[in-house]
Chains A and B, each alone.
Chain A
């Protein structure tokens, strides 16, 4: 069965510090992995997806099939990065997304 796990419900770092939001997944086929961000009381926005391998707002994520992980990283966190981050998985044949429970990131000044 497919499952997305984000082990940290809350994560706090200081401005300028590196940040890593963890995401592990379980899926029998070849999934597509996403990171969505939700700023306070706003809609979910796509941050990045593993197939495009691009860096958005300084964030990167690498799909590690051996460890079934898709951790989100940023070398220097900014206060405006404070938000809820959701890791999502899409299977090979269906459009629906499976989401983790989310990690609330707080970046202190």
Chain B
């Protein structure tokens, strides 16, 4: 499968803990986007990386951070987790940093904070 992949598929943890979500973009894509999908907030943009550099920030909490590595995979780190952080976290990738190219989404990581 040459599409966007995300691991793990499901994650269950406790409040106060820290987790790392991983995303591998499509082959050839340099941009990675992270989105959070929750019942009350809908689908919200968190952060974008392009070729290892942060390019845009959205509604990302200070407890959250991300990075993109030289092999272009990206990790989203969520710390001091709260119940309200329970959500589906999607990663998307595209070829360019902006423009008219399409964003392709991964299957998501479902985070449950107990």
Chain A interface residues (CB < 8 Å from chain B): 32, 36, 42-46, 49, 51, 86, 93-102
Contact A95 B105 (CB under 8 A): no
Contact B42 A51 (CB under 8 A): no
Contact B107 A95 (CB under 8 A): no
Q: How many residues of B contact A (CB 8 A)?
A: 28
Contact B105 A44 (CB under 8 A): yes
Interface Cβ pair total, 8 Å cutoff: 58
Residues from chain B with a CB closer than 8 A to the CB of A86 are 43
Chain B interface residues (CB < 8 Å from chain A): 4, 31, 33, 35, 42-45, 48, 50, 55-56, 58, 90, 92, 94, 96-100, 102-108
Interface of A is mostly: loop
Residues from chain A with a CB closer than 8 A to the CB of B105 are 36, 43-45
B82 to chain A, nearest CB (A): 22
Residues from chain B with a CB closer than 8 A to the CB of A51 are 100
Contact B103 A95 (CB under 8 A): yes
Give A100's nearest chain B residue, CB to CB.
B42
A50 to chain B, nearest CB (A): 11
Inter-chain CA distance A87–B34, complex, in Å, is 17
With known contacts A43-B90, A43-B106, A43-B108, A93–B98 Cβ distance under 8 A: yes
Residues from chain A with a CB closer than 8 A to the CB of B31 are 95
Contact B58 A99 (CB under 8 A): no
Contact A96 B48 (CB under 8 A): yes
Which of these, A42, A46, A102, contacts B43 with CB under 8 Å?
A102
Give B96's nearest chain A residue, CB to CB.
A95
Contact A102 B42 (CB under 8 A): yes
Inter-chain CA distance A102–B35, complex, in Å, is 14
Contact B56 A95 (CB under 8 A): yes
Give B55's nearest chain A residue, CB to CB.
A95
With known contacts A43-B105, A86-B43, A102-B43, A96–B100 Cβ distance under 8 A: no
8 contacts between A and B (CB under 8 A): A46-B102, A46-B103, A51-B100, A94-B56, A95-B33, A95-B97, A97-B35, A99-B35
